[in-house]
Amino acid sequence: MKKIAVFTSGGDSPGMNACVRAVVRSAIFNGLEIYGIRRGYNGMIKGDIFKMESSTVSNIIQRGGTILKSARSKDFVTKEGRQQAYNQLKEHGIEGLVAIGGDGTFTGANLFYEEFGIPTIGAPGTIDNDLYGTDFTIGYDTAVNTAIYAIDKIRDTADSHERVFFVEVMGRDSGYIAIPCAVGGGAEIVMIPETKTTIEKVVDALKTGWSRSKTSFIVIVAEGDEEGSAVEIAAKVQKEIPQMDARVTILGHVQRGGAPTAADRMLASQLGIACVEGLLAGRACEMAGIVNSELVYTPFIETITKVKALNPNYGRMIDILSV
């Protein structure tokens, strides 16, 4: 293998640039030519491919987002689109890929390998931390710290005005962001997709808190909770407690940006090197991850299909700490 390429796909996450940097410099260290593909699979199809040097990735480790840009590709879903992407790679002599992204990215890479035999090693770049095969994903630590920073400020206002704040964090299918935000942010209640928390339970928790002379509350809501969004949940609770002074804050995409933490820079660098070394070792269709502080490679099919379960003790922690 002489030439490889790296691309970022799906939602951006802090630390993607650090991972790109590690891929580029690891490739050069190992005597490979390294190319960048802009805008994910869309750029692959369109041939938006350029050679990268060590200087290309100077001064990017501290930057959020991705210098390679990211996009979701409808064309890559089609056989014709994948054929065009393959043709572009062959024209540039690219023999292997490093994909930084999530389950959608790895699903596409897995299918691409089955059809055209281009080996891909993936690095888990997503703030959601919901990929099986790694304890932490690139961007997760930064996203949680960003959210907690905001929640700390919201708590000041909640306390000053004796209000209930419903704070919505990202997590369409998972409570991995919501749980540490609830524990680290001192929230009284957390609502996540993995655990059913009824409106009645929220109402009871608030009334119990008031009976203990609490005057302000933080309710953390993962965006994918079965009761709805934070706005919908606040409205439902307000019907049951009309006198409640409530506000809603949706943190949204602020969680996906910003300079990555030291932990995310370290993880991204480890996994970027591991992706290049995995390709050189003849691996294909696997994601590099860290489990129990050890580097592991997990087949894409397992990363895509297996569920990464939350620790059930986390809910118990919040119940204890919110007394």
Measured CA to CA, the distance from residue 220 to residue 276 in angstroms comes to 39
From 12, 128, 141, 225, active-site residue: 128
3-state secondary structure of 43: helix
Does the annotation list 223 as a binding residue? yes
* CA 206 distance to own-chain centroid: 31
User: Is 73 annotated as contributing to ligand binding?
Assistant: yes
Query: CA dist 194 to 41, 90, 175, 209, 307, Å?
Result: 31, 43, 7, 24, 11
Asked if residue 82 belongs to a known ligand binding site, the reply is: no
As a whole number of angstroms, the distance between CA 6 and CA 230 comes to 37
62 is in an annotated binding site: no
11 is in an annotated binding site: yes
For residues 151 and 283, give the distance between their C-alpha atoms in angstroms, rounded to a whole number: 42
Query: Half-sphere exposure (CA, 13 Å, Cβ side) for 35?
Result: 23
Is 156 catalytic? The answer is no
Q: Is 276 annotated as a binding residue?
A: no
| CA–CA separation, 277 and 98 (whole Å) | 11
98 known ligand binder = no
DSSP 188: S
Tokens of 240: 């049951």
Q: Is 200 annotated as a binding residue?
A: no
**172 marked ligand binding residue:** yes
**Residue 175 in marked binding region:** no
Residue 52: φ, ψ to 5°: -115, 145
Question: Is residue 289 marked as binding?
Answer: no
Q: Which residues fall in the annotated binding site for ADP?
A: 21-25, 155, 186-188, 212, 214-216
Q: Which residues fall in the annotated binding site for Mg(2+)?
A: 103
Q: Which residues fall in the annotated binding site?
A: 11, 21-25, 72-73, 102-105, 126-128, 155, 163, 170-172, 186-188, 212, 214-216, 223, 247, 253-256
Task: Tell me which residues are annotated as active site.
Answer: 128
Q: Which residues fall in the annotated binding site for substrate?
A: 126-128, 163, 170-172, 223, 247, 253-256
Q: Which residues fall in the annotated binding site for ATP?
A: 11, 72-73, 102-105
